[in-house]
Amino acid sequence: MDANIEAILQSLTLEEKISLLAGKDFWETVPIPDKGVPAIKTSDGPNGARGEQFTGGTRAACFPAAVCSAASWNPEYAHKIGNALAEETKTKSARVLLAPTMCNHRHPLGGRNFESFSEDPLLAGKMAANVVKGIQEKGIAATIKHFTANEQETERLAVDEIVSERALREIYMKPFEITVKEAKPWGVMTAYNKINGTHADSHNFLLKQILRGEWGWDGLVMSDWGGTNSTADSLNAGLDLEMPGPTRWRTVETVTSAVRKGEVTEQVINERAKNVLKLIERVGGFINPAIPPEKSIVDPAHSKLIRDVAGQGITLLKNEGNILPLTKEGVKGKKIGLFGLAKEALIHGGGSASLNAHYRITPEEGLKATYGDDVEFKYAKGAHTYRLLPPLRHHCTDLEGKSGWTMELFNKGQTDKPIKTTHGLKESEFNPILDTQAKDSEVKLSATFVPSETGAHYLGCSGIGPTSVTIDGKVVFEQKNNSPDPMGFLLGGNPEVEFSVPFNAVQSYKIQIHSKSPSGEADFSILAGLPGFRMGFMNASEHDLDMLTQAKDLAKDVDIAIVFTGHTPAWETEGQDQMSFNLPRDGSQDKLVEAVASVNKKTIVVNTTGVAIALPWLFNIAAFIQAWFPGQEAGNAIADIISGAVNPSGRLPISWPKRIEDAPAYRNFPGEKKNGQLTVRYDEGVFVGYRHYDRVAKEKVQFPFGFGLSYTSFSLSGGHVSKPSMTSFKATVAVKNTGGSAGATVVQLYVGRKEQVSEHPIKTLAAFKKVALRLGQQQIVELDVELKDFAYFDEKDSAWKVDGGQYDFSFGQSVAHVESVITVDVEGSGGNLVKL
């Protein structure tokens, strides 16, 4: 391989080498056909290979989100998911999958938490490493992201994360280190944010000293999309590939000028180009350079895997009086009320994780398929849950008199003559990513609207740049400034202010939406210079409908009530953090649960979010299931748990606080802005998640890390720890199924000093294993632990260390449910320290 790459590299001119260092377009690298260098294609994303279209593209399999996968605590299934993701990637003619996402859950309001595995670096690292192994053994490159400290979405392109080296190494870089060393990913994607004052794409400490230096990694480093922030600095630090293309920072002229000035050497250019060529070689691009059209292939094996993983990840958190499972025989002839989001398949979050799924099984569909005609299901939504009013698409005619809208594109400041006109657009929105001519332009969308009813109608509008709405020539909405969150706009979650306009039925109204490209010096990255907008619309009769009373009346009339709550992709998405710890919208879902539970004692709540939420109604309901985002088989997997076809074995990969104020990063999220720079101080240090909650009052925690219920029960006993060597331990414990059915639990081993020290966590997850047992079965579980698994980083000596002394090895089924503790003498160097 090296000889072939060296030969190609030597054949390239400096200009050709430079051309390789940025993308050709949004998804592909630059080819050099005359020199035998093909383009290769990349694809999002972490829970499915979406393909090249952000919305409405080729259908793809949607796998459980990483947090759902992590809740299974089963790395073997992560490996299988990796295999399936690789196969899906091939159907999209891509060779590089932009996955997995593996940043830590630092705060419950993190907008992209669902895409990542856990608050714990060991669990996250082991799951991610297995996903990578599964992807790459099928010949597809995995791209672990986002390196590093990308734990929030608020101003993610510029925010400066101030993090100690100890916290970086023990918490935020640790999942990456585990994955790099155990799985050797072929790609690493840098984060948007700054770390201690320097953007991640130009960070010498991260990319040169750690990644390529200490960890000895030899793959390709690419930027996040629009996440390159310099020319010479990023090249010198080790950023091989700027994405997407065409380049903003690496034109041939810019880079050759940097070489002439001595800011970058030709040797650096050679190294960067060589890494691009090496990736092309690794994924078979030189052997088969073709990029055929994308395909949509439903693989029954993938569908089964998705359902199985979701079933292992869905987590039962309350089951008062053993109301669950609702066995087929037990509910035969009963009436079951379905409420809330029962008719919506919440299968993924928003942003890079979104895709056009092969199919989407709603909870209602899954339950009806499971119970058939033996159960009578009734439905009431009970609450408005939308974040954005739906686009206006009905009763509209364009400028040619046909159904839809007319779009006109103008050169900026020249709105007398359009440079492009398109008729028949279906709805009142314009996505600039889909139009290559939109750069530095203005856009108008026009239609004649004939309402179906008289009265107030509700509208909402937002744009990337200044945007206005006129009706019959009168301005009814005006946004004078740029969007505060352009990526949030693109990904469907930008806040909109609703306003009402009176309409008369049958009368016609001319509506025009006018949007300009962003003004001023703001750097909108891949959206720079692009206009875009959306306008939502809803009739008053729908908007003002009293859904809550309908739901409460139905709840009185049914034997069992199941309320489905959660976040649609607009509420939990890349591009912005959560608006609230409480469920949206404006308390409507909390009110729904409270109303149903007040009249029906047998109320079960199934929540679909990628994060912990406030649970003000928890003590009023009988059962609570956390479904996460379980993928396209969502409804079937949820029905499996509710019916008892699958015994729940999911365990929380995060801690679940009662109040957002009790989160360790509460006072340092999303940061403070001074002189235009948002800065976030990671002042909690290594005390993230359970490492923090271990040290505070237990009543601050709703559900502890590692917790989850089953329809059976388990016990751990007879813990034992031996020392095969000075740096390794072999721990064993007996686990027994003591309940009434077969099931699975997770044996968790935590290690901590017997005598607590304030600067160190009380205990740290050091090993885990999921165990399936028949009724009454007992099994001895072995867990291997190394000193490095509970070492700390000493910043003064720049070394990993374990202090000599006594350590408690705690065996439990959650961080708070410890059943066996073994104290072990850990020898140090001369009785003091062991340097790793």
The residues annotated as belonging to the active site are 224
DSSP state, 502?
E
Given a contact cutoff of 8 angstroms between Cβ atoms, the answer to whether 269 and 17 are in contact is: yes
127: nearest Cα among 174, 88, 92:
174
Q: Say what the alpha-carbon torsion angle 704, 709, 713, 717 is, to the nearest 10 degrees.
A: -20
CA distance 550 to 552: 6
Strands 728-737 and 778-786: antiparallel
Could you give the count of Cα atoms lying within 13 Å of 172 in the half-sphere of its Cβ? 25
Residues belonging to the chain: 836
Given a contact cutoff of 8 angstroms between Cβ atoms, the answer to whether 766 and 728 are in contact is: no
Radius of gyration in angstroms for the set of CA atoms belonging to the chain, rounded to a whole number: 28
Burial class (CB in 10 A: 0-12, 13-18, 19+), 330: exposed
227: nearest Cα among 122, 146, 301:
146
674: nearest Cα among 165, 155, 151:
155
Angle (CA) 501-503-506 rounded to 5° is: 160
* Cis before 584? omega within 30: no
Residue 784 phi, psi (nearest 5): -95, 135
Burial class (CB in 10 A: 0-12, 13-18, 19+), 271: middle
Given a contact cutoff of 8 angstroms between Cβ atoms, the answer to whether 476 and 501 are in contact is: yes
Contacts of 290 (CB under 8 A, 6+ apart): none
CA distance 41 to 659: 44
Residue 33 phi, psi (nearest 5): -55, -40
CA distance 356 to 62: 8
Per-position DSSP letters for 583-614, written without gaps between them: PTTTTHHHHHHHHHHHH-SSEEEEEE-SS---
Given a contact cutoff of 8 angstroms between Cβ atoms, the answer to whether 349 and 567 are in contact is: yes
List the end-to-end C-alpha distance of the chain, in Å, as a whole number: 34
DSSP state, 172?
I
Q: Say what the alpha-carbon torsion angle 201, 483, 412, 677 is, to the nearest 10 degrees.
A: -40
- Which residue type is seen at 225? W
